[in-house]
Amino acid sequence: MRDDHRDRSIDAAAKRVVTRRGFIKGVAGGIAAASIGFPLASCTSTKSATNRRVIVLGLDGLDPGLMQRLIDTGRAPNFKKLQETGTFGRLGTTMPALSPVAWSSFITGLTPGGHGIADFIARDPKTYMPVFSIYVADDPGRILSLGDFRLPLSGGDVKNLRKGKPFWAYLTEQGIPAVVVRIPTNFPVDETATRAVSGMGTPDLVDSYGMFNYYTTDTFEDYPNISGGNVHYLEKKNHRVDAFLPGPVNAMRAPKDTRRDKFANHAKVPFAVHVDPDRDLARIDIEGRSLLLKKGEYSDWVRVTYDMLPVVSSVSGIARFLLKEAHPHLKLYVTPINIDPENQAMPVTHPKSYGSDLARATGPFWTKGLPADTKAFDYRIINDEEYVGQAELLLKEQIAQFDYEWSRFRSGFLFYYISNTDQDAHMLWRNMDETHPMHEASDKRFAGYIPHLYEEMDKLVGKVLPALDENTLLLVCSDHGFAPFGRQFHLNSWLRDNGYLKLKPDAERARESTILDVDWKETLLYGVGFNGLYVNRKGRERDGFVDDAKAAEIVSRVSGELEAIADPETGIRPIHKVYRREEMYSGDETPMMPEMLVGYTPGYRSSSPSVLGETGKAILDLNPWAWSGDHSMARDLIPGSLVSNRALPGRDPNILDLPVTILDFFGIPKPPQMVGKSLLRNA
């Protein structure tokens, strides 16, 4: 969201977009379930029915071109060894080449038309409103009102929207252990694995994308239209500042008026900051614990407990504090509050005890599915150095957990996911790329950070190489590659200007519009999500009126028009290719998918307003954000990577082939619904 009008519109009528509401319903339901004795899931037997092993390192966004350059310059000796003795190359991906889409195809062996995930953001055809594509939370059941308190008597249901059977379920059914750590679109955590940690799509304790908190005594700091976080303006008295950390909306209490206090309905944890009068040093006192921080220092994880009902229930979260400065103004940043893995408000590990096991072995850990705080970086709440400091903590934590799982891995299947290779490339591409329009605004000290991160991935691979043998298959794979994102295309603005998307009369002259301003009875096409372009189809959308014959004609015409557009500033065509749905998808969910999938040229991407179905004045303009690398482009131009210790004879490998290949290595035939082929075979 970039302006007040947009925020108000979405708040009023699009609460099903990735917001707090759905998650808090689930939290309330979880509390109710806990209060009546929620059963612990039992752990699948770890006795293995095989002596074979498959290790998959899912390095999200690992780009084959960047990796090849490191190999060529001698900076990735372990990848070079695999290239010489096994397989190194490009991996075909889904369209769009987005993590939840591609990893869902990896999990199920289905195209998006089968598993139903075609973007981060989908739309409800009954309302046209954007909705989160990975999970949905329903209302808790019956509510018992006790004065100011509201006690749910039955739990709310949180449902993963990904369809299709995970391939590892075929393993565990045969007695083959399967450990799946942080794979995307696995929230609520799937219980068919032996052990699992949920991944991308997992919310924090307050908001689906994550809500940071920033505290400042400088009243001249201004962050207009900020999203993804809260800014608290405080007063310092006698070197002390009193504040609170807002938690989830307390669905256990009767709602209060929020006009004077937007956190009136939130549970809160108070804390105090004591500022050293002479040094950039501060002590934070919170829930009986004291933290001493220097300027630029992150704290360890801090557990915070929010009382929802006196004595009866509470929810626990963990967060890290960063002291940005103590003088002349106090500036304190707090990460989004993660679900506590040792006391889970929502299911993030299977079995539940696995969260405590991991925390005891390696320490508390990020459970939020997109852990790095990219929003705080985009809005300059944290700078390049502070973002990198957080990224290093996250990487260290993930490597420690891999070491723990690797040390006890004997047979079966182990999947381990690294998020840094994706999120850090999103945020630090401009630092590396001298041709990026935002390069000069970046901190050049971190120009080499992405290559450094790739070197760390080479070291990770090096941990596995000594244990490889004829009974072991190593697959290092990514769901897509990476490219610069310097200019943004406002798809819905183009549709409006070319007569395909019609606005209501009172919105026609507005500089910007939201999806609430669309005249659906006159609109032929609309964009929602990063790449999806929908026909307003008769019998599918609420006000749809375009029949099948007309839809085919529109798709053909508009595809050509979009591919012909040239950027007047650069002369480049921002849209490389428009993919037609039927070329890409198969399965029962295909009719609900967007008819066109817009494949952008590297350097370009859909604008954030267009993702939510909005329009603006411009059609093409500069991307001003730290988020400067991307992959929501034409899938043929940003393939993923595939590396293996074996020479894989299968041609033109695609991410859809990997689940079939893994099952084949264990001697399990290809399930009939899976689309791919085994790369272990020539056919």
Look up the CATH number of the domain holding residue 519. 3.30.1360
In a domain, residue 595? The reply is yes
If the chain, 683 residues long, is cut into consecutive pieces of 10 residues, what is the mean pLDDT of each piece?
38 37 38 32 56 98 98 98 97 98 98 97 96 81 50 64 97 98 95 97 85 96 92 96 92 72 90 96 97 97 86 83 97 97 94 97 96 96 98 98 97 98 98 96 97 98 97 98 98 97 91 94 97 98 97 98 98 98 96 98 96 95 96 98 97 97 98 98 83
In a domain, residue 184? The reply is no
Domain around 602 = 486-630
In a domain, residue 539? The reply is yes
- E strands, 224-335, in order: 229-233, 240-249, 266-275, 281-286, 289-294, 297-298, 302-309, 313-319, 321-325, 331-334
Give the pLDDT confidence score for residue 41 in this predicted structure. Answer: 34
How does DSSP assign 326-387, residue by residue? -SSS-EEEE---EEPTTS-SS--EESHHHHHHHHHHH-----SSS-S-HHHHHTTSS-HHHH
In 10 A of CB 238, how many CB atoms? 8
Give the pLDDT confidence score for residue 71 in this predicted structure. Answer: 98
In a domain, residue 74? The reply is no
In a domain, residue 475? The reply is no
Q: Is 199:417 a contact under the CB 8 Å cutoff?
A: yes
Distances in Å between the alpha carbon of 115 and those of 97, 106, 219, 664? 15, 10, 49, 21
In a domain, residue 455? The reply is no
Secondary structure of residue 25 in the 3-state scheme: helix
Q: How far apart are CA 382 and CA 626, in angstroms?
A: 11
Q: How far apart are CA 274 and CA 277, in angstroms?
A: 9
Torsion region of 268: left, alpha or beta (phi above 0 gives left; psi -120 to 50 gives alpha) = beta
Q: What is the pTM of this model?
A: 0.91
Q: How far apart are CA 35 and CA 314, in angstroms?
A: 10
Q: How far apart are CA 370 and CA 420, in angstroms?
A: 10
640-644/240-249 β-pairing? unpaired
In a domain, residue 445? The reply is no
Domain count, the chain: 1
In a domain, residue 616? The reply is yes
Q: How far apart are CA 468 and CA 450, in angstroms?
A: 28
Give the pLDDT confidence score for residue 495 in this predicted structure. Answer: 98
